[in-house]
A and B are shown apart, each in its own frame.
Chain A
């Protein structure tokens, strides 16, 4: 294999080329480093913040264990205890688990895929800062004694106004709802990144498993999180404006919350687990120096888990009085998910068996994780059996089960991943010896804490009680669990010591590929990642070709330069990764940070009902997003060579644009939110026969027709505007601006007319669940129209100053897709709101 190959770019590279590349990617110095949006920086901030929240929530768990260690204890008051377990669950799930895996994705994915950055760097910066600011403020509530206290799944009526009249529930609903938006932004970024920015030749079948895991992760977030957004929205509307979605006396139904919550909540478990499983599938082959056994099956198992998880939400509700026959079906279906999880576990075991095991800290974590996860899976099969579930429901058995699943499925792989990938981002590796001790201590602690807890639950101790009398005899088991918690704390402390001693983040001189891995993230150096972007022909390119790393570093592969002076990466086709165009990326800037800061302020101020200041903050947030969108879409430029005789155009618009894909994913999110609202509507109808309730007149058919016409006009006007975009440099965009402006007005007018029509018929949102369900659909449409009016305003301004024309049309095309979507959603909404009650009556 010593034959000289044809490399795409001749060596040595011309002088100054590398310097120009580094200049384009140089990060700002000093405090301005916070305005850096590159994935390596944001990824590091992101992972660190997640670890911080992990430690914080862990301290809360220690307080819980301190309180429960002895019977009749009063270390904390009952009310504080409620806040502690609510915050522990919420922070672990929403501020640690999901963001942590997303953070690892932001940090490592581009390097694994052979990209220089994620495709929308400002979006991931926004997602991170929103999460950081919102999450920190959310923690603060605990110190002001206003922390949520209704449990991490916030069931109404306990979380409704009647039983939680203070702001603690609002803080949860707005805070978490807002962090979900940040997670969705990250998911869109990751989906587009995985599908469109892989190195040339990295077909889907050659993508690292972690890329697949993050793709499934992103897709699941797109379908699952909207349900949670709808749930939090409905409950907040009920609390703030008395729209009775969950109040039975007025036609609401508290079970609606559980359906919406678990439609999100069950997939959420796998949203956390799958990326961690993807990390395991990356680490195991390196540890034993053998390619993953059953790659295609493992990826299929990831997808299967994702798909199945959407059908299983009911098995969290076995104790809510569902039809018995339904439980029989779901008991069977619930066990189905054990199959794909089993496939993955067996693939790991087979890989371990095929290669030569070399002990290391990551290996210790993985072996521990495997055992813990399998135990959690087995108790999962147990609770899928209905009679068993009804016996142990809401006892400590469930607490033990979910901790085994989450710790084995996510926390231990995550800690192992930190040991494994630290050398890729730090000047020094973490201490392998300390790591092994941390892993052993952690594994011991977890089992000492949670294994006895199964028994505690079986003998009858319910979860979420702040204490128990000595006579019940639960003292010994609880003391043992608390002892285990101390062992876990000791191991985390040791881990922190190791981090402080050895973790030295750097962009240039990383410790490098100390474990001898085969994937591309180990070649990436510097903030630009790759000196040149290789062609990938194997799943482990570094193992297949030992000279590849040096060739990449010497600049012999594609795009060793900056073609435009901006930051750039290569966009390739979705399935077979053929190079399509060069994407220029934005550099550092404050707009995402400012936007995130004021979005967070907007939501947090709403919880304390400071509406005026909140509105001002909201406007500032919108303004900074507009500033950032103003600079987007630099317009297409002629093709340039990237080496090997390949010429690629720069920043194209049209069907193959990555921005179009991002917009399509956003449309999926919007339609999933809309579907959630429709589900609420139909669900409330099947539980309440009075639809509409007495005293509500039929809406005016003329009004409905008017709204429909306006929606069609809005779509037509925007489409027409596209035909009149001027050629570059000729004339102005007055005509298309007029079309777009009128389209936005028509969209708004359609909503206004519809709401007037409803009000005129006597429908009020607070009068009945019917009114609330109707109004939430109509107001959702109005809100979308309003948002698009802002977008259209931006497009009009761009068209008027010549930033949009017949060639430079990417932002116009994005706006057009969204307007067409909004018109379609509006028409469906009209059918449901006005036709359905007529035929259902």
Chain B
């Protein structure tokens, strides 16, 4: 049963945001959530176990640097969900935005660079012949579909009524974070997988570019709105005595500029892979499938 531990770890990791929120103490600047923290630690441990088991094979499945990346990703998830940032997010929209950006960019990408998928690959149905199974697999691997799902999650939750409802209701808030993290993991996994194939890089690049653009537009709308869009934060602002509009502008700009810079960097890395070298050997044989 030891084999299953990494899967369980990944599952737990997915559940972190959902669970973490329930335990957060409101307004406590030094909130440290042992529950969320222990789940992330458990995920990291599970990954470590998987790594050891894989290392028993003939060749190393995941190089050390990638393992470090996974652990770093866990640490970033930890920092985003179980740290003062989390409690600040209840007070400032801008802090909440920083948390969201971290949850959908750096953290999942670092985790995925660690190739947790390799450790659980043997369990997934690889040869399902039924057309729904094939369709589901194609959808899971498609950067376009993943980007669309991720985009819908981001835009839908920023609709003021939903965003405000999530602020009032912890279960909804957990669902919000869960859908961000889950679709982000999906998006980055599909993008990374497509980038590993030479023929998938253009689609991966377009998916990243499209996300860069629509994320920027959403940030722009927050930054240029003439009024506060999220009443819950306006109330906090009245209590704490800061300008809600400035908070919202900062939040929009964080999403737009640093958030966009992250997608830009990944996009350029994909482009660099796409450009390729002058010299790789080539044979003029026609491709097998036409």
Show the binding face of A for B, using Cβ within 8 Å.
195, 200-201, 203-206, 212, 223, 259, 295-296, 299-300, 303-304, 307-308, 310-311, 314, 322-323, 325-326, 329-330, 332-333, 535, 537-539, 573-576, 578-581, 644, 646-649, 652, 656, 668, 675, 679, 682-683, 686-687, 689, 836, 839-840
Q: Decide if A689 touches B227 in the complex (CB within 8 Å).
A: yes
The 5 closest A-B pairs by CB, nearest first: A205-B276, A686-B225, A303-B271, A839-B161, A578-B287
Further pairs besides A203-B280, A648-B286: 12, Cβ < 8 Å: A200-B284, A201-B282, A223-B209, A325-B250, A573-B287, A575-B198, A575-B199, A578-B286, A580-B287, A656-B289, A656-B290, A675-B214
Q: Which residue of B lies closest to A291 (CB)?
A: B278
Question: Which B residues from 260 to 290 make CB contacts under 8 A with A?
Answer: 260-261, 264, 267-268, 271-272, 274-278, 280, 282, 284-287, 289-290
A617 to chain B, nearest CB (A): 36
Q: Decide if A300 touches B225 in the complex (CB within 8 Å).
A: no
Q: Which residue of A lies closest to B245 (CB)?
A: A323
| Cα-based distance from A203 to B249 in the complex (angstroms) | 45
Asked if B30 CB lies within 8 Å of chain A CBs, one says no
B158 to chain A, nearest CB (A): 10
Would you give 19 A-B contacts (Cβ < 8 Å), ordered by A? A203-B280, A203-B282, A212-B275, A300-B268, A300-B271, A304-B271, A314-B220, A325-B249, A326-B224, A329-B253, A330-B257, A576-B198, A578-B286, A579-B287, A580-B286, A646-B286, A656-B290, A686-B225, A839-B160
Asked if B159 CB lies within 8 Å of chain A CBs, one says yes
Q: Decide if B199 touches A574 in the complex (CB within 8 Å).
A: yes
| Cα-based distance from A714 to B255 in the complex (angstroms) | 38
Residues in A neighbouring B282, C-beta threshold 8 A? 201, 203, 537, 576
Q: Which residue of B lies closest to A303 (CB)?
A: B271
Q: Decide if A311 touches B253 in the complex (CB within 8 Å).
A: no
Q: Decide if B276 touches A203 in the complex (CB within 8 Å).
A: yes
Residues in A neighbouring B286, C-beta threshold 8 A? 578-580, 646-648
Q: From B160, B161, B286, name the one whose CB has the most chain A CB atoms within 10 angstroms.
A: B286
| Cα-based distance from A698 to B168 in the complex (angstroms) | 27
Q: Which residue of B lies closest to A535 (CB)?
A: B284
Asked if B125 CB lies within 8 Å of chain A CBs, one says no
Residues in A neighbouring B276, C-beta threshold 8 A? 203-205, 296, 575
B227 to chain A, nearest CB (A): 6
Q: Decide if A687 touches B225 in the complex (CB within 8 Å).
A: yes
| Cα-based distance from A195 to B202 in the complex (angstroms) | 10
Asked if B118 CB lies within 8 Å of chain A CBs, one says no
Asked if B246 CB lies within 8 Å of chain A CBs, one says yes
Interface residues on B, range: 35 or more
Residues in B neighbouring A299, C-beta threshold 8 A? 271, 275
Q: Mark B205-236, 1 if CB is under 8 A from A, else 0.
A: 01001001110110011011111010000000
Asked if B177 CB lies within 8 Å of chain A CBs, one says no
Q: Which residue of B lies closest to A195 (CB)?
A: B202
Q: Which residue of B lies closest to A538 (CB)?
A: B278
Q: Decide if A329 touches B256 in the complex (CB within 8 Å).
A: yes
Q: Decide if B161 touches A323 in the complex (CB within 8 Å).
A: no
Q: Decide if B214 touches A311 in the complex (CB within 8 Å).
A: no
A226 to chain B, nearest CB (A): 11
Q: Which residue of B lies closest to A678 (CB)?
A: B217
Q: Decide if B160 touches A840 in the complex (CB within 8 Å).
A: yes
Q: Decide if B223 touches A581 in the complex (CB within 8 Å).
A: no
Known: A649-B290, A839-B162. A326 touches B223 (CB 8 A): yes
Residues in A neighbouring B115, C-beta threshold 8 A? none
B265 to chain A, nearest CB (A): 10
Show the binding face of B for A, using Cβ within 8 Å.
159-162, 198-199, 201-202, 206, 209, 212-214, 216-217, 220-221, 223-227, 229, 245-246, 249-250, 253, 256-257, 260-261, 264, 267-268, 271-272, 274-278, 280, 282, 284-287, 289-290
Q: How many A-B residue pairs have CB under 8 A?
A: 138
Residues in B neighbouring A223, C-beta threshold 8 A? 209, 213
Chain B interface SS verdict (over half): helix
Q: Decide if A311 touches B290 in the complex (CB within 8 Å).
A: no
B200 to chain A, nearest CB (A): 9
Q: Decide if B272 touches A307 in the complex (CB within 8 Å).
A: no
Known: A200-B284, A578-B284, A675-B214. A836 touches B257 (CB 8 A): no
Q: Decide if A333 touches B257 in the complex (CB within 8 Å).
A: yes
A205, A575, A839: the one contacting B201 at CB < 8 Å is A575
| Cα-based distance from A537 to B289 in the complex (angstroms) | 23
Residues in A neighbouring B225, C-beta threshold 8 A? 686-687
Q: Decide if A682 touches B223 in the complex (CB within 8 Å).
A: no
Q: Which residue of B lies closest to A325 (CB)?
A: B249
A307, A539, A576: the one contacting B268 at CB < 8 Å is A307
Q: Decide if B278 touches A323 in the complex (CB within 8 Å).
A: no
Q: From A539, A648, A679, name the one whose CB has the most chain B CB atoms within 10 angstroms.
A: A679
Q: Decide if A308 touches B161 in the complex (CB within 8 Å).
A: no
A307, A332, A644: the one contacting B209 at CB < 8 Å is A307
| Cα-based distance from A687 to B245 in the complex (angstroms) | 13
Q: Decide if A840 touches B221 in the complex (CB within 8 Å).
A: no
A270 to chain B, nearest CB (A): 14
Residues in A neighbouring B274, C-beta threshold 8 A? 204, 575
Q: From A205, A581, A644, name the one whose CB has the most chain B CB atoms within 10 angstroms.
A: A205
Residues in B neighbouring A201, C-beta threshold 8 A? 282, 284
Q: Decide if B226 touches A579 in the complex (CB within 8 Å).
A: no
A785 to chain B, nearest CB (A): 22
Q: Which residue of B lies closest to A332 (CB)?
A: B257
Q: Which residue of A lies closest to B290 (CB)?
A: A580
Q: Decide if B268 touches A311 in the complex (CB within 8 Å).
A: no
| Cα-based distance from A46 to B140 in the complex (angstroms) | 45
B201, B214, B264, B284: the one contacting A307 at CB < 8 Å is B264
Residues in A neighbouring B284, C-beta threshold 8 A? 200-201, 535, 578-579, 644, 646
B93 to chain A, nearest CB (A): 13
Residues in B neighbouring A329, C-beta threshold 8 A? 253, 256-257
B161, B227, B257, B278: the one contacting A840 at CB < 8 Å is B161
Known: A329-B253, A576-B282, A836-B159. A686 touches B224 (CB 8 A): yes
Residues in B neighbouring A311, C-beta threshold 8 A? 212, 216, 256-257, 260, 264
B128 to chain A, nearest CB (A): 21
Q: Decide if B275 touches A296 in the complex (CB within 8 Å).
A: yes
| Cα-based distance from A672 to B250 in the complex (angstroms) | 27
B226, B246, B257, B287: the one contacting A687 at CB < 8 Å is B226
| Cα-based distance from A686 to B227 in the complex (angstroms) | 7
Residues in A neighbouring B217, C-beta threshold 8 A? 675, 679
Q: Decide if A323 touches B160 in the complex (CB within 8 Å).
A: no
Q: Decide if A325 touches B253 in the complex (CB within 8 Å).
A: yes
Q: Which residue of B lies closest to A222 (CB)?
A: B206
| Cα-based distance from A688 to B283 in the complex (angstroms) | 61
Q: From B214, B275, B289, name the one whose CB has the most chain A CB atoms within 10 angstroms.
A: B275
A310, A323, A539, A644: the one contacting B212 at CB < 8 Å is A310
Q: Which residue of A lies closest to B270 (CB)?
A: A303
| Cα-based distance from A333 to B212 in the complex (angstroms) | 14
B180 to chain A, nearest CB (A): 19
B157 to chain A, nearest CB (A): 12
Known: A204-B275, A311-B256. A686 touches B198 (CB 8 A): no
Residues in B neighbouring A840, C-beta threshold 8 A? 159-161
| Cα-based distance from A204 to B274 in the complex (angstroms) | 7
